[in-house]
C-alpha cells in the first residue's frame, strides 16, 4: 500500500506546483494528504494529485480559493457513494455547470485579451520597423 503514495516532492514535480503552494492549499483546506509516513512526511495519492490539478487549472482563470473549495465540495459530494437527499444530485450538477460556464467565459475573455496583446505587440514591431535606420 505504501507504494501507491507519493511524497510532496514527487507531487510538486507532477503538478508543477511548488512545495510552498501545495502546503498553502493544504492550509486552506483544499487538499489534505491521504496519509503520513512514519516520519511524519505528507503522503499523497493519484486522487490528491488530480485534486491539485483542478486547483492548478482554476487559478489562472481567476477563481478564488472559496470558489475552488465550492467546486471541489460539489464534485466530492457527487462522487461520494450512498443515498442522497431528493434533488441534491441535480443541485450539485447545477453548481458544477455554473463553474463550467464561468470557466468558458473566462477563457473567452482571455482570448480577447490575448488578441489585443498580440495586436499591441504587432503595432510596436511595425513602429520599430518604420523608425529603424536604413541599412547601407
48-99 pLDDT per residue, tens: 999 999 999 999 999 999 999 999 999 999 999 888 888 999 999 999 999 9
pTM: 0.82
- The three cell numbers of residue 108 are 473567452
Q: How confident is the model at residue 4 (pLDDT cuts 50, 70, 90)?
A: confident
Separation in Å, CA 54 to CA 21, 50, 113, 133: 14, 6, 23, 51
- What is residue 135's predicted lDDT score, i.e. its pLDDT? 61
- pLDDT confidence band for 1 (50 / 70 / 90): very low
pLDDT at 134: 65
pLDDT value, residue 2: 45
Report the DSSP beta bridge partners of residue 42.
36
Cβ atoms of 49 and 40 within 8 Å: the answer is no
pLDDT of residue 83: 83
Check: CB of residue 22 under 8 Å from CB of residue 15. yes
Amino acid at each position: 500500500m505504501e507504494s501507491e503514495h507519493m511524497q510532496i516532492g514527487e507531487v510538486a514535480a507532477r503538478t508543477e506546483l511548488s512545495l510552498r503552494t501545495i502546503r498553502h492549499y493544504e492550509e486552506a483546506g483544499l487538499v489534505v494528504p491521504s496519509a503520513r509516513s512514519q516520519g511524519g512526511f505528507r503522503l499523497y495519492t493519484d486522487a490528491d494529485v488530480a485534486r491539485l490539478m483542478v486547483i492548478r487549472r482554476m487559478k489562472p482563470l481567476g477563481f478564488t480559493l472559496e470558489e475552488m473549495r465550492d467546486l471541489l465540495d460539489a464534485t466530492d459530494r457527487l462522487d461520494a457513494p450512498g443515498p442522497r437527499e431528493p434533488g441534491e444530485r441535480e443541485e450539485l450538477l447545477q453548481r458544477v455547470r455554473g463553474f463550467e460556464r464561468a470557466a468558458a467565459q473566462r477563457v473567452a475573455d482571455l482570448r480577447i485579451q490575448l488578441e489585443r496583446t498580440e495586436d499591441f505587440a504587432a503595432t510596436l514591431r511595425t513602429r520599430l520597423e518604420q523608425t529603424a535606420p536604413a541599412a547601407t
